[in-house]
């Protein structure tokens, strides 16, 4: 399990504990529409990932949605 997946599990547990209506996911940003068709408050992309994106225009359109 990756660090990100572990962090998502912990965040989910904390949200449940405090009754927060929150959903955390760890996915390839290009697959975001397969996870949820609605809107997100935050799409986190670390700076270490930006140079690895194969299609920066597609990435910006997806997170801008």
Over residues 2-7, the mean pLDDT reads 84
Residue 11: the pLDDT is: 94
Q: Would you say how long the chain is, in residues?
A: 65
pLDDT for 12-56, tens place per residue?
Answer: 999 999 999 988 888 787 887 777 667 777 777 778 778 888 898
Residue 36: the pLDDT is: 67
* CA 44 – CA 50 distance, rounded (Å): 11
pLDDT tops 80 at residue 58: yes
From the number of C-beta atoms within 10 Å of its C-beta (0-12, 13-18, 19+), residue 46 rates as exposed
Residue 25: the pLDDT is: 80
The span from the first CA to the last CA of the chain, in angstroms, equals 29
* CA 46 – CA 37 distance, rounded (Å): 22
């Amino acid at each position: 399990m990756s660090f990100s997946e572990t962090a998502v599990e912990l965040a989910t547990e904390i949200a449940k504990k405090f009754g927060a209506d929150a959903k955390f996911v760890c996915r390839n940003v290009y697959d975001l529409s397969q996870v949820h068709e609605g809107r997100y408050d935050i799409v986190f992309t670390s700076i270490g990932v930006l140079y690895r994106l194969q299609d920066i225009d597609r990435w910006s359109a997806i997170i801008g949605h």
